Structure 1
Amino acid sequence: MVDTFIRHIRNKSIFDPSKIYLLASSGGMDSMCLGNLLTKAEIPFEIAHVNFQLRAKESDEDEEFLRKWANSSGITFHVHHADTYAFASHRNISTQMAAREIRYDWFEKLRAERNLAGIILAHHEDDQIETIFLNLLRGTGIEGIYGMAERRGWLIRPLLIFGRYEIKDYVLKNQLEWREDSSNEKTDYKRNKLRHIGLPALYANSEDARSNLLNSFARLKDTGKAFNALFENWAAQKIKVSEGMQTLPLTDIGRTAGAASLLYFWLRPYGFNSDQAQDILESCQTGESGKLFESTSHLLNLDRDQLILAPLPVDFNSILISESDIDFILTEEKYEIIKLEGKEAIDKTRQNAMLDLERLSFPLEIRTWQEGDRFIPLGMKNTKKISDFLIDLKVPVVKKHTVKVLLSEGQVAWVIGYRIADWAKSTAATRKLLYLKKTINNA
C-alpha cells in the first residue's frame, strides 16, 4: 500500500514535498493510516483536530491521543474546541451539518494563517460510494455521481484510490493505533444507515457488486465530462450577451435533445434549480410569452421568441442634477453634461439626448419610471403612458425594470436611452442646448 500510495501521489503530482500541509485528523483508523503514509512518503504536515464535545470523555480522549502521537512524532498539533450543539441550535441546522461547517471553516482559517499548501482529508473509496448514494437519495443530476474530487481548491483526498478493507488491513499489519468513534456504529444518521445496512445489502447481490458500481460511476463521470464540453460549445454558439443581459432564441432550445439539462447548466450559476429549468422548458414549448422566472439574483423572461436572463433590479436612488454638474453615472453608464449653442447639429441617437436648455428647470431629477408616468414622445401630439410606450417598443419585461426617466419639475423630459419628450426638443428658436452624451465609464 505504501508503494501504491507514493506512486499515485507522484504520478498525479498531488503534493509538493518542499511545502507543508495540514492533515485533518479525528484520530480514527483512516486519518491515522493517512498520517503514517504521508510520513513514509516524506510529505511534511501539521495536524488539525476538532474536539466537537459531542461524546463527553471520549472526545477529550481522542484529543489527548492525537496530542501524544503528534508530540512523539515531532509534528505540530492544532486543536479547536467547538460547542457543536450550540452552533447547530443557533444556525437551526443538524448536528452533522454544524460539525461539517465548523471543521471546514476552521481548517481553512488555520491553513491561511499558517500559510500551508493544502488541507489533507482521509476520505477513501467507501466514503466516495456513500457520498454518491447520499447525493442520489437527495436528488441529483449527473454531477452528483462525481462524488468527491481528489483535489478541489485547498482540499486534497489522496486515499480515494483505497477501500476501507485495504486501510484496515494496513493499520493492522503495521500495528498502528487509532481511536474508535462509538457514534460510527449508530444508525441514526443517514450515512451510517447506508454504511451498515443499505450498502451491505446491495453488495450481497453479487461478489462484484462493489467493483461494478465503481466502474459504472467512473463511466458516468466521464459521460458527464463529455456533456460539459458539449454544453460549453453549445452555449458559446447560442447564448448572446449584450447590455448585461443574456439571450437564447427559443429555436435553439425548444425541441433540442437534452434541453432541460442544457437550460439547467446555463442557469444554475445564476441561482436556478433543475425543477425551474424543467418548468422553463415547458413554458417555452407552450409559448407562454411574458412569463417570468426568478432566482435569488436573476430574472428569466420568456419574451416572444427568446429567453432573456438579467440580474434582479436593484433599488435605485434618484439623482439630482444641478446646473453646474458636468456628468452623472447610471449604474455602469456615464453621461457627460455638455452645454452648447442652439445652432449645433442634433444628435439623433437614442442613447443620447439634446434638449432645449431654456425649457428645463434645475435641479433635474433622474429616477426609475413608475406606473402612471406619462409623456409626449418626440414627434407625437398626445401623451402616452410610459408603460404603453415600452410595450410598443417591445422592451422585454426584465429590461423595463431598469428604464430611467429624466424629469424637469416632475415632467418627463427624456425616457433615457429611448425617446425625448416632444416639449423638450430643440427647435429653430432654441438658443441653448443641454447635451447628455453617453460615454465609457472607466471608474
Structure 2
Amino acid sequence: MLERDFLEFINENRLFGSADRVLLAVSGGLDSMVMTHLFHQIRQPIAIAHVNFGLRGDDSDGDARFVQNKAQQYGVPFHLTHFDTVAEAHKRGISIQMVARDLRYDWFAQLVQQEGYACVATAHHQNDVLETLLLNLVRGTGLAGLHGIAIRQNNLIRPLWFATRDELEIYAQEQGLQWREDSSNAEDKYVRNRLRHHVVPVLMSMNPSLFKTLPQTIGKLRAAETLMREELERSWQNVARISDDRVLLASDALQNLTEPVFRLAEWLKPYGFSIDQTAQMWQALRHQPGQVFQSATHRITHEREGLLLTPLSESADYYLTLDRLPDEPLDVEGRFSLTFNGFEKPTDFRPPTDAATVCFDADRLHWPLTIRPWQQGDRFRPLGLNGHKLVSDLLNDQKVSRPDRERTAVLLSDNQIAWVIGRRLDHRFRVTAETKRIVQVSMQ
C-alpha cells in the first residue's frame, strides 16, 4: 500500500525521471530508512549521503557506520562528511539547529554539482509538515509559512510528504527494517519536540482526521497565497513609478488601496525593510515630507509625491582635477558624465536655458578645475543674485530629494564654486558682453 502511494505521489508531482540519479539524505532514523527502502523497491538509481554532526559522541559515530553499512548492502554510492557543529554555531552566532541545517544543505548542493545528481531527497513527512506549520505560526508568519514544508524546492524533494509517521512505522515493522533511534527526539529541549510531544496530541484528540484534512488545508492556503501574489503584483504596477534605480510609490495611489501597510510590507520585504518600518512609513505619509527609513541595502525617503525607494549610495568621496579641456566625455565616478567644448563667442550667442548645460567665460576659469561632492558649508553666488547662498539652501529651495542631494557635485575654479553641477551657475563665471571665448559643459 505504502509503495503504491509512494510511486503515485512521485509521478503525480513529477519529482524525478526513472533514469535520474537521486541523492538520499539519510540519517539512519526510521523515516530515512523507510525512504531508502522505498527507493530500492522501485529500482530508482540512488546514492546515500550522511552527515555526522558530532553532537552525540559515540552515538553519532554509530549512526554513520550504520548508514554506511546499509549503503553497502544496497550496493549504492555512499557519501559521508563530519562537522564540528557546536564550534561552527559559536562562530556564526546562531543556534546549533540552524547551523546544522545550513551545513548539511550546503554540502548536499556541493554533491549535486560535483556528482551530477538530479535532486536531493529528504524524508520529511506529514508530521514534519504540521510541526513546521505550527512552529512558524508560533514565531509569526504570513501565508507562505503556513504551507509547512514544500514538496519541492528547486532540486530538493520530499517524496514522503504524503505519509504520516505512524504509517511509516507500520511499514517499517512489516518489512522488518532496522533503524537508529535518536535519544534527543524524546527530550523537550527543542521547541519542535515540545510541539510534537504536547501540542500535536491535543490537536489529534480534537480532530482524529487531522492528517487527512491537512493536505487540503495547505492546498487552500497555497491557492490563497497565489491569488494574493497576483493582487500584489497588479497593485504594484498601479502604485510604483520606476526610473532607473529608483522607485516612487505614489502616495495618492497608496491612499486608495485596502490594507496598504500589508502591501507595503510585502513589496519592501525583498529590500530588507521590516513590518514595523512599513507601518511607520504609512504613518509618515500623514505628515510633512522628509522622514527617512533605512535597511541594510536601501533607503525609503518620504517625498512630497510619495515614498522614494533608492539603493544606499556608495561613499561619495572623490576629487577629480582637470588640467585642460578633456577631449572625451568625463565619467564622474559612474554617477554622471560631463562633456566639455571650447569655442569663440558667436555674435548671436544666447545662454542655454537648461540647467544641465552651462557656458563659462573661458578667461574667468583658472585651471586646474576641480570636481567633488558638495559639502556642508559650501557657498556660491547664484546666477543673477548679488549675495552668496549656501548650496544646502539651494537644494532645499529646489526641493531636491535626499538621494539626489547625495549625488550632487560642484565644479570649482581656484577653490571657488563655478557651478553646482546640473543645478545653478555661479554669477561670477557667467558669459558677459566682454566675453571672447566660451567653455560649454553639458551634464548627462
Q: What letter corresponds to residue 412 of structure 2 in structure 1?
A: L
Equivalent residue, structure 2, for 1:40? 41
Equivalent residue, structure 1, for 2:428? 423
- Is the 2:339–2:443 contact (alpha carbons within 8 Å) kept by the matching residues of 1? no
Shift of 1:189: 0.2
Q: Which runs of 5+ in 1 are unaligned?
A: none
- Is the 2:23–2:119 contact (alpha carbons within 8 Å) kept by the matching residues of 1? yes
Equivalent residue, structure 1, for 2:204? 203
Matches for 1:361-400 after TM superposition, within 5 Å: 361-400=366-405
Q: 1:307 to 1:187 in 2, by over 3 A?
A: same
Equivalent residue, structure 2, for 1:301? 301
Moved more, 247-256 or 45-54: 247-256
Matches for 1:39-58 after TM superposition, within 5 Å: 39-58=40-59
- The CA deviation string for residues 244-271 of structure 1, in whole angstroms up to 9 with x for no partner, is 2110121222352111111011111110
Equivalent residue, structure 1, for 2:330? 328
Matches for 1:239-388 after TM superposition, within 5 Å: 239-254=240-255, 256-284=257-285, 286-324=286-324, 325=326, 326-343=328-345, 346-388=351-393
* Aligned-pair identity (%): 35
Q: What letter corresponds to residue 17 of structure 1 in structure 2?
A: S
Equivalent residue, structure 1, for 2:71? 70
Shift of 1:214: 4.4
How far apart, CA to CA, are the structure 2 residues paired with 1:171 and 1:129?
22
How far apart, CA to CA, are the structure 2 residues paired with 1:116 and 1:338?
58
Moved more, 305-314 or 406-415: 406-415
Matches for 1:429-440 after TM superposition, within 5 Å: 429-439=434-444
How far apart, CA to CA, are the structure 2 residues paired with 1:337 and 1:425?
18
- The CA deviation string for residues 149-169 of structure 1, in whole angstroms up to 9 with x for no partner, is 222223222222222222222
How far apart, CA to CA, are the structure 2 residues paired with 1:140 and 1:58?
36
Equivalent residue, structure 1, for 2:225? 224
How far apart, CA to CA, are the structure 2 residues paired with 1:229 and 1:177?
48
Moved more, 251-260 or 72-81: 251-260
Matches for 1:123-162 after TM superposition, within 5 Å: 123-162=124-163
Q: What letter corresponds to residue 341 of structure 2 in structure 1?
A: K
Equivalent residue, structure 2, for 1:402? 407
- RMSD across aligned C-alpha pairs, in angstroms? 2.2
How many residues of Structure 1 are paired with residues of Structure 2 in the alignment? 438
How far apart, CA to CA, are the structure 1 residues paired with 2:441 and 2:75?
71
Q: What letter corresponds to residue 80 of structure 1 in structure 2?
A: T
How far apart, CA to CA, are the structure 1 residues paired with 2:432 and 2:220?
72
SS at match of 2:163: coil
SS at match of 2:360: strand
SS at match of 1:401: helix
Q: 1:25 to 1:112 in 2, by over 3 A?
A: same
With the length of structure 2 as denominator, give the TM-score of the two structures. 0.92
With the length of structure 1 as denominator, give the TM-score of the two structures. 0.92
Q: Which runs of 5+ in 2 are unaligned?
A: none
How far apart, CA to CA, are the structure 2 residues paired with 1:137 and 1:202?
15
SS at match of 1:362: coil
Equivalent residue, structure 2, for 1:180? 181
How far apart, CA to CA, are the structure 1 residues paired with 2:364 and 2:116?
64
How far apart, CA to CA, are the structure 2 residues paired with 1:9 and 1:210?
19
Shift of 1:379: 3.0
How far apart, CA to CA, are the structure 1 residues paired with 2:437 and 2:75?
83
Q: 1:429 to 1:170 in 2, by over 3 A?
A: farther
Q: 1:363 to 1:69 in 2, by over 3 A?
A: farther
Q: 1:175 to 1:390 in 2, by over 3 A?
A: same
- The CA deviation string for residues 12-39 of structure 1, in whole angstroms up to 9 with x for no partner, is 2221333323221111111122222223
Q: What letter corresponds to residue 302 of structure 1 in structure 2?
A: H
Shift of 1:402: 2.2
Shift of 1:343: 3.1
Shift of 1:141: 1.8
Shift of 1:78: 0.9
- Is the 2:241–2:250 contact (alpha carbons within 8 Å) kept by the matching residues of 1? no
Moved more, 132-141 or 359-368: 359-368
How far apart, CA to CA, are the structure 1 residues paired with 2:30 and 2:206?
28
Q: What letter corresponds to residue 335 of structure 1 in structure 2?
A: S
